[in-house]
C-alpha cells in the first residue's frame, strides 16, 4: 500500500475556468449582482473614460473583487491583488484581470458614496422582493478598530503627562550642561535639549487644538477616530458602528457611525431606516444603551414606536420599594403619590440642566412634600436632609410610554437579540471585520456599506436559494436593459424631431434655433 499521490506538475492541461466554478456557487451570484447594477448612476469613479492615457479597470471588475473578497474575509488590497492571481473563482470573476494593489486600494478609498448608494439600492430591491417590510426593526452597534494607535490619541491629561516628562528631561539636561566641561559633550546635550523643545512645541499645539474639541480628545492619524471602550473595558481607538436590521428576514437596512456611545444614535438610525425602506410607521427595538428621553421623543415624532429596555435607576438597586417606579404620577393634578401615600407637589417652575462636552441641556421640574420631615420610612426612602426630591424631565411622558410598552410586551422585545446581534458575529468572526482599512468617517462608512451589502447578498442567497435569486437578478438586468433601450429610442426620436424642426426653420437666426431646441 502507498500514500495517495497527486498529479504530475509538468503535465500540460486544457483548463476552462467556467467548468472549474461551482454551478451554484456564491461567486456566480456576485457576478450577476454586479452585472445587474447600473454603476454609472451610482457615481463610481473611473466609469467615464478619458480620451488619453491608460484605460482604467471597469468599476464592475473592482466591485466584484471587493464583494468576493469581503465575503471570504480577504480585505487587504495586497491580499486581494494576490487572490486575483491565485484564486480560481476570482480569476473567473475578473476575466483574469489582475489590478495592482494600489488600484484596488484607490477604488475603495474613492467610492464611499457609491458603496452607500449600492447598499441603499439593494435594500430598496429587497423591499420590492418583499424580503424587507420595515415594520419591526432592531438597532444595535459594534465597535471596530481604526487606523490610529492609542499612542496617537490624546486627551488633556495625556498631553500634560508628556509635557511634564519633557520639562523634567530638559531640567536634567540643563543640570548636566552646568556640570559638563567637555565641549563635544556640551554640544550633544544642547542638541538633545533642542529635540525635547521641538517635542514640547508639538504637544503644546495638540493641547491648543484640544481646547477646540467637543469631546476633549484628538486622534492624529485618523482625526475622526475616537477612543472607544471595547470588551472587558479595554480602550482602543476606533469607531462605533450603528446597524439597523429588519425583523422579517434579519437583513441589514441602515448603517451609521458617529458618537462613541449609543445614547444619541437612535433617531438618526430610525430616520435612515425609514428613508431606505420607505416605511414610516415602524416598531424599533433597542437595548438600554439607547434609552434616552430626547431620542424616544424624536423617534415618535418621526412616526416610530420605540421598545427600548429601560435603564435601572440607582435607587431601584439599593432599595427597590422606594425606586421611582413606586411613585405614582397623577397627570391631571401634576403631582406624585409616594409609597407612604403622601402627595409630592411642584412649584411649576422649569429648571435647566446644563451638560458637558456640547451635549444639549434639558428641562425638568421638582416635586417634593413637607410630609418627609415626620415620615417613618424616610431612612429607607432618601438620604437627602430636606426630604425626597423628584426630578421630572420634559421627556418623562415619552419615557413612561416606552417603559410601559416594554412591560406589556416582554416577548416582543426579546426578539431584538435574534434580529440584530448575529450579523455582528458573522461580520467580525467570519469576515474579520473588526478593524477598518480606511481613515475618515465617510470612507469607514463606505467600507461598512460594502460589508453590509455582502452580508445581505449572502443572506438573500440563503433565504431564496440559488435558482430563485439568480432568476430575480437576471430579471432586474433585463428590466434595466429594457429601460436603457427605451431611453435610447426616446433619445433618437428626440434627435429626429429636432433635426426636422431645424430643417423646417432654415431662415431663423441660429441663436433663436438654439433657444427653441433648449425648450
Ligand atoms: S420620605 Fe417623603 S417621599 Fe419618602 S415615603 Fe416618606 S413621605 Fe413619602
In this prediction, residue 516 carries a pLDDT of: 33
pLDDT band, very low/low/confident/very high, at 178 (cuts 50, 70, 90): confident
Nine-digit cell string for 500: 426636422
pLDDT band, very low/low/confident/very high, at 501 (cuts 50, 70, 90): low
* Centre of ligand 1 from the C-alpha of residue 398, in Å: 26
Nine-digit cell string for 374: 415626620
Q: H helices within 215-283, ranges in order?
A: 266-277
| Cα dist from 428 to 66, 129, 436, whole Å | 17, 28, 11
Q: Nearest 5 degrees, angle CA 230-CA 289-CA 339?
A: 135
CA-338 nearest atom, ligand 1: 8
Query: Is 305's pLDDT higher than 50?
Result: yes
CA-340 nearest atom, ligand 1: 5
Q: What is the mean pLDDT of the chain?
A: 88
List the single range of 294-303, 434-443, 499-508 with lowest mean pLDDT. 499-508
What proportion of the chain, given as a percentage, has pLDDT over 70? 89
Query: Is 353's pLDDT higher than 70?
Result: yes
Nine-digit cell string for 17: 475556468
Closest CA to ligand 1's atom 7: 372
Q: Could you report the per-residue pLDDT of 194-219, keeping only the tens digit for each?
A: 999 999 999 999 999 998 888 889 99
pLDDT band, very low/low/confident/very high, at 232 (cuts 50, 70, 90): confident
Q: How many CB atoms lie within 10 A of CB 163?
A: 16
Q: Could you report the per-residue pLDDT of 435-471, keeping only the tens digit for each?
A: 999 999 999 999 999 999 999 999 999 999 999 999 9
Query: Is 125's pLDDT higher than 60?
Result: yes
CA-339 nearest atom, ligand 1: 5
In this prediction, residue 509 carries a pLDDT of: 38
CA-378 nearest atom, ligand 1: 1
pLDDT band, very low/low/confident/very high, at 261 (cuts 50, 70, 90): confident
* Centre of ligand 1 from the C-alpha of residue 375, in Å: 6
In this prediction, residue 356 carries a pLDDT of: 62
Closest CA to ligand 1's atom 5: 340
Q: Which residues contact 102 (CB under 8 A, 6 or more apart)?
A: 77
Closest CA to ligand 1's atom 4: 381
Q: What is the DSSP string of 279-308?
A: --SEEEEE-GGG--HHHHHHHHHHTEEEEE
Give the mutation target among 323, 326, 342, 346 for probing the ligand 1 site: most ligand atoms within 8 A of CB. Answer: 342
* Centre of ligand 1 from the C-alpha of residue 388, in Å: 6
pTM of the full structure = 0.85
Match 458614496 to its residue by C-alpha cell: 113
Cβ atoms of 100 and 107 closer than 8 Å: no
Q: Which residues contact 168 (CB under 8 A, 6 or more apart)?
A: none
Sign, Cα dihedral of 437, 439, 444, 450: negative
Per the model's pLDDT, the better-predicted residue between 406 and 510 turns out to be 406
Average pLDDT over residues 367-375: 91
In this prediction, residue 482 carries a pLDDT of: 61
Nine-digit cell string for 475: 430579471
CA-344 nearest atom, ligand 1: 3
Q: Could you report the per-residue pLDDT of 398-414, keeping only the tens digit for each?
A: 999 999 999 999 999 99
Per the model's pLDDT, the better-predicted residue between 497 and 190 turns out to be 190
Find the residues whose C-beta lies inside 6 A of ligand 1. Answer: 338-340, 342, 369, 371-372, 375, 377-378, 381-382, 387-388
Strands of 294-422, DSSP E: 304-308, 328-330, 335-337, 343-344, 351-353, 362-367, 390-393
Closest CA to 171 of 199, 193, 201: 193
Q: Could you report the per-residue pLDDT of 3-17, keeping only the tens digit for each?
A: 999 989 999 988 899
CA-371 nearest atom, ligand 1: 7
Pairing of strands 136-145, 282-286: parallel
Measure the CA–CA gap between 183 and 179, rounded to whole angstroms. Answer: 12
Query: Is 508's pLDDT higher than 50?
Result: no
Measure the CA–CA gap between 480 and 53, rounded to whole angstroms. Answer: 31
Q: Which residues contact 267 (CB under 8 A, 6 or more apart)?
A: 295, 298, 299, 302
Amino acid at each position: 500500500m502507498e500514500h495517495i499521490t497527486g498529479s504530475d506538475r509538468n503535465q500540460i492541461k486544457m483548463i476552462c475556468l467556467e467548468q472549474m466554478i461551482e454551478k451554484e456557487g456564491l461567486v456566480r451570484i456576485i457576478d450577476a449582482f454586479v452585472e445587474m447594477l447600473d454603476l454609472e448612476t451610482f457615481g463610481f469613479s473611473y466609469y467615464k473614460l478619458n480620451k488619453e492615457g491608460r484605460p482604467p479597470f471597469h468599476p464592475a471588475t473592482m466591485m466584484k473583487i471587493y464583494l468576493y473578497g469581503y465575503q471570504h474575509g480577504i480585505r487587504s488590497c495586497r491580499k486581494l491583488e494576490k487572490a486575483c492571481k491565485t484564486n480560481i473563482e476570482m480569476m473567473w470573476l475578473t476575466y483574469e484581470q489582475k489590478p495592482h494593489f494600489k488600484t484596488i486600494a484607490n477604488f475603495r478609498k474613492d467610492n464611499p458614496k457609491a458603496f452607500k448608494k449600492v447598499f441603499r439600492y439593494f435594500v430598496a430591491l429587497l423591499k420590492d422582493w418583499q424580503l424587507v417590510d420595515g415594520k419591526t426593526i432592531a438597532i444595535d452597534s459594534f465597535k471596530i478598530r481604526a487606523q490610529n494607535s492609542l499612542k496617537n490619541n490624546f486627551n488633556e491629561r495625556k498631553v500634560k503627562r508628556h509635557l511634564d516628562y519633557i520639562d523634567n528631561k530638559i531640567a536634567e539636561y540643563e543640570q548636566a550642561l552646568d556640570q559638563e566641561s567637555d565641549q563635544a559633550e556640551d554640544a550633544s546635550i544642547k542638541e538633545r535639549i533642542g529635540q525635547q523643545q521641538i517635542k514640547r512645541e508639538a504637544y503644546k499645539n495638540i493641547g491648543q487644538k484640544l481646547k477646540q474639541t467637543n469631546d476633549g480628545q484628538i486622534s492624529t492619524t485618523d482625526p475622526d477616530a475616537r477612543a472607544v471602550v471595547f470588551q472587558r473595558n479595554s480602550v482602543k481607538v476606533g469607531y462605533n458602528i450603528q446597524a439597523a436590521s429588519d425583523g422579517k428576514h434579519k437583513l441589514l437596512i441602515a448603517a451609521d457611525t458617529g458618537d462613541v456611545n449609543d445614547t444619541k444614535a437612535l433617531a438618526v438610525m430610525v430616520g435612515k431606516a425609514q428613508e431606505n425602506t420607505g416605511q414610516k410607521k415602524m416598531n424599533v427595538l433597542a437595548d438600554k444603551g439607547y434609552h434616552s428621553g430626547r431620542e424616544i421623543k424624536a423617534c415618535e415624532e418621526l412616526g416610530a414606536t420605540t421598545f427600548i429596555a429601560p435603564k435601572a435607576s440607582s435607587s431601584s438597586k439599593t432599595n427597590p420599594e422606594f425606586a421611582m417606579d413606586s411613585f405614582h404620577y397623577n397627570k391631571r393634578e401634576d403631582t406624585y403619590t409616594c409609597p407612604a401615600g403622601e402627595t409630592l407637589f411642584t412649584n411649576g417652575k422649569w429648571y435647566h440642566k446644563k451638560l458637558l462636552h456640547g451635549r444639549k441641556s434639558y428641562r425638568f421640574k421638582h416635586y417634593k412634600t413637607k410630609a418627609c420631615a415626620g415620615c417613618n420610612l424616610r431612612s429607607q426612602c432618601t438620604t437627602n436632609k430636606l426630604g425626597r426630591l423628584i426630578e421630572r424631565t420634559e421627556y418623562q411622558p415619552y419615557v413612561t410610554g416606552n417603559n410601559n410598552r416594554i412591560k406589556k410586551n416582554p416577548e416582543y422585545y426579546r426578539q431584538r437579540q435574534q434580529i440584530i446581534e448575529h450579523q455582528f458575529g458573522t461580520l467580525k468572526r467570519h469576515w474579520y471585520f473588526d478593524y477598518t482599512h480606511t481613515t475618515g468617517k465617510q470612507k469607514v462608512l463606505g467600507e461598512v456599506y460594502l460589508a453590509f451589502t455582502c452580508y445581505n447578498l449572502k443572506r438573500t442567497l440563503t433565504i431564496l436559494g440559488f435558482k430563485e435569486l439568480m432568476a430575480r437578478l437576471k430579471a432586474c438586468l433585463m428590466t434595466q436593459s429594457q429601460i436603457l433601450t427605451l431611453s435610447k429610442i426616446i433619445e433618437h426620436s428626440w434627435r429626429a424631431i429636432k433635426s426636422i424642426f431645424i430643417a423646417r426653420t432654415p431662415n431663423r437666426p441660429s441663436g433663436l434655433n438654439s433657444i427653441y431646441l433648449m425648450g
